[in-house]
Structure 1
Amino acid sequence: MTNKVVLITGASSGIGKAIGEFLAAKGYRVYGTSRNPKEQEKNGIKFLALDVTKVETIEQVVEKILQQEKRIDYLVNNAGMGITGPIEETPDEEIRKVFDTNYFGVINVIKAVLPAMRSQKDGFIINITSIAGYMGLPYRGIYSATKGALELTTEAFRMELKEFNIKMTNIAPGDFATNIAAGRYHAPVVKGSPYEKNYGNTLKLMDEHVDKGENPMVMAKKVYAVMQEKNPTIHYKVGEALQKFSIALKHILPDKVYEKMLMNHYKL
């Protein structure tokens, strides 16, 4: 059994919940966050209120854990939100909101734990990104951008942190059966919009993919496996073989051929 301390953002449902419960069963001391926790503790996860878009709540949670545990060994940045819509018709405030959550929020949580990890000369930060971050997907362009930005930032961050013995990696899931579709911002399908037909059809296809997605426990087991690695690599992908293969194809195929493949997939 281990007494290592893990902080997981977005742990009340879906992938974050599965990761928290799996790690707690393995003996980790797990602190999970959500904006409005309904319980103080459940299935081994101690819940704390945290909104990644509000730095003061991040600092309060980190301080509370350090007061109780004296250390934070692992940070799993899982909190995030989805967004769909034609980029032209997506309100600026919604674009900023998803960047605040999926990108700036993650950066601020990392900044909050780094002093403690540097002091203890050890730490491991895992950023949950998305296979969508490896390609610009139609009507999910903003979401792809937030996750792609985090993938690249992690590459830089890793090099900056090596001298402090702090590890960082990305784990990119494909489609998983979670409630992200219900919680994401949907730009409305506007009657008479030039995007009405294609966006409407693509939206239905995206929701079908999530509904048929894999069990979040697959991600939990992958996170645990990566946590055991002494020298983790930079990028991990978790999902159906076709989803992971699509990333490899992007490096092989000419740009226009790959674009055509995506358009055929989404029936555009």
Structure 2
Amino acid sequence: MRRAPRRRGPLSTVVGIVLLALMLFPVYWMVNASLQPTGNTLRGGWFPLRPDLGGYATALRDQGRNLVTSLVVALGSVLLSLALAAPAAYALARFRLRGTDLVLLGILITQTVPGIVVANALYGAYADLGLLNSCLGLILADSTAGVPFAIVLLHTSMRSIPGEIVEAAQLDGAGRLRVLRSVVLPLSRNALITAAVFTFLFTWGDLLFALTLTTTGTVRPVTLGVYQYIGAHTNQWNAVMATTVLAAVPAAVLLVVAQRFVTTAATDGALR
């Protein structure tokens, strides 16, 4: 007989609420500090009784362009990573190729290479190619983390697609590219969205490539803007915190919107 699920007592609920409050307190304090008047936020109260939006006005004036740059780089990295990873994962999953396991092992090994090693190697190549201080250069650099992750994730999803579905499409006259576009990719929607979300988060939170591959202020992601903003405006902590709040909004909204697809992809991977 299957045992009835064990009910959680009130103590577990209290402990969960306390742990959740501790994890969310930095986020609350960040928002609270962004609404304080200009000056040292340590003097601010626990609640913004008189919220001041001056920090957000300063943040948008100084960091608005950096936010747009980060959005362009993150979306470009997502598109490039999926464009490269989807065909590669399909080939590894559906075609009978020798050394597929070794290829996947090599892809996983690339994930263990420290980012600073990749950034230093790219700096010399970018200097010769003229890609320093460019959105394209940052997109290519950030895709070095997104492509391997997307290949591994999509490979697992595409390998679980029944071969009969692919064969039926081929019998109807669909070529390999048509099968990939019209059959495999729609069936791998959850994995595609999950790969896109994590690639976006990788790129959106990147500081290493931005710090290494940009030497001027022409192209500056928001992470680098905050890093340099603190040193230049240490007495305007409300503007610094307002910038971090604005930078956190796109990632938070994306996670909320895509939560169902990410959870389904993780569950499908576990069941398969």
TM-score by structure 1 length?
Answer: 0.24
Of structures 1 and 2, the one scoring higher in RCO (CA 8 A, sep 6+) is: 2
Higher strand share: 1
The structure number with the bigger radius of gyration is 2
Higher helix share: 2
TM-score by structure 2 length?
Answer: 0.23
